[in-house]
Structure 1
Amino acid sequence: MNKRISFVPALALGMVVLSVPTLATAVTTIDVVDEARLVGGAAVMSVEIICDLGANSFLAGTTGTIIQRTRFNVTIESGSLGQTAINCNGTPQIFQIAVSSSRFRPGPATAQASTIVCNNSPFTCESAQDSKEIQLVE
């Protein structure tokens, strides 16, 4: 007695598994630090960037936005870093972004940050973003 084994279901399952895109792990990360210091009409927020693109890397664009709701107002302001050299060797590096506004007050706020990190040889860029609740402190 001959038994026929159908390979069609196994083939279909294999094609489905192979067609699912793999999730690449982010190599570049940015993390907003939990506090921003109020200094002379600005909130200075810190961000920690980790990347591993190599020694000839630079921050092509790094921005920070702080949103603070007070009793009567919502203040939304942004700041940015100019193009900045960074040694992308996998170690955390801290950068400060000044976000100008005389309307910020001590207390809770929401901070958002994004960055684009590039390397010239070979030319490669990666991006990352973060958003979290922080405290504005004097």
Structure 2
Amino acid sequence: MAAFVSTDHELDIFLLADELKSRDWFTQPQFRYKSSPANLHISIHGATLDSLTDFRTGLAEAIVAALNAGPATPDADTLALVAGLDPSTLTPDEYTAILAGADLGGTGRLPQRMATVNHLLNAAAPALREQLLLSFLDVLYVPTRSASADR
């Protein structure tokens, strides 16, 4: 197991995760918590040792791409909303505003690139992150009525 933290403030760790994913490398973004900064977690074990050279190459390419793309910047109003929310009083309207600010639009589907969403979650207090994720999971499991059901 390894965790990557960047000391280069130009490198967006969440954008790096997206760039790695586009190269078929899965990393798990972890949000800041207490004194731990946001980081990327990856598991390295016996079954993956043969892929380390390929991973290093992919990582180097992903770093260059992330630096060239610049940071993923969430909407300032949505960041301010997230920073000021109390998870115990999160309203449906506030949740909908956060989804819109994260370009999720309440569809219950995740975008291919998650850097903006991860920045919003990283900006939230841990208790609010949990509430937002639970609310999102609720949306995933709400059945939608198909057109054929209306006939």
TM-score band, normalised by shorter chain: under 0.3
The structure whose residues are more often strand, as a share, is 1
Report the structure number with the largest CA radius of gyration: 1
The structure whose residues are more often helix, as a share, is 2
**TM-score under structure 2 length normalisation:** 0.24
Structure with bigger RCO (C-alpha 8 Å, 6+ apart):
1
**TM-score under structure 1 length normalisation:** 0.26
